[in-house]
Amino acid sequence: MNSFTDLEVWKKARILRYNITDLVKCFPAEEKYRLGDQIIRSSRSKGNNIAEGHGRFHYADEAKFMLNARGSAAETIDHLCIATDNKIIEEKVFNSFKNDCEECMKMIDGYINFLRKQADNKPNL
């Protein structure tokens, strides 16, 4: 892979980030700069960490950033729970975004496993 933009996991995170940004546009004014800002940050963080990790020299370093991306996906789910609990979004919308976040987390898990295998197979220098 030449670029992080070639990674399927980054592409998934990018779509999710776009959809979250679009969702927040329907938040009430008082939540746009509180919950809206937090959910946008966590949704952006997934892709940011994937990109930054891909720029690292060692597989183990990249895997650490993937763990951060996974944490950001879980954080996004929590923000969506808050939006649901506060009746900002419907349960159906929550479930759809939660499924997308969980799918992204599974892809991140798969990529972490791949990176760890690559690190294990790398000869000591």
Mean pLDDT of 107-123: 86
In a domain, 51, yes or no: yes
pTM, full prediction: 0.91
In a domain, 88, yes or no: yes
Task: pLDDT band for 32, please (50, 70, 90 cuts).
Answer: confident
Domain around 83: 28-120
In a domain, 33, yes or no: yes
User: What pLDDT score was predicted for residue 124?
Assistant: 52
In a domain, 20, yes or no: no
Q: Which of 49, 17, 56, 20 is nearest to 35 (CA)?
A: 20
For 35-94, how does the pLDDT look when each residue is reduced to its tens digit (9 = 90+)?
Answer: 999 999 999 999 999 999 999 888 888 999 999 999 999 999 999 999 999 999 999 999
Inter-CA distances, 102 with 31, 70, 124, Å = 24, 9, 35
User: What pLDDT score was predicted for residue 118?
Assistant: 84
In a domain, 35, yes or no: yes
CATH code for position 33: 1.20.1440.60
In a domain, 17, yes or no: no
User: What pLDDT score was predicted for residue 125?
Assistant: 45
- Per-residue tokens: 106: 């599974």
In a domain, 34, yes or no: yes
User: What pLDDT score was predicted for residue 1?
Assistant: 59
Share of the chain above pLDDT 70, in %: 96
Task: pLDDT band for 123, please (50, 70, 90 cuts).
Answer: low
Number of folded domains in the chain?
1
Buried residues in 26-52 as b, exposed as e (16+ CB within 10 A): ebeeebeeebbebbbebbbbbbbbbbb
User: What pLDDT score was predicted for residue 80?
Assistant: 98
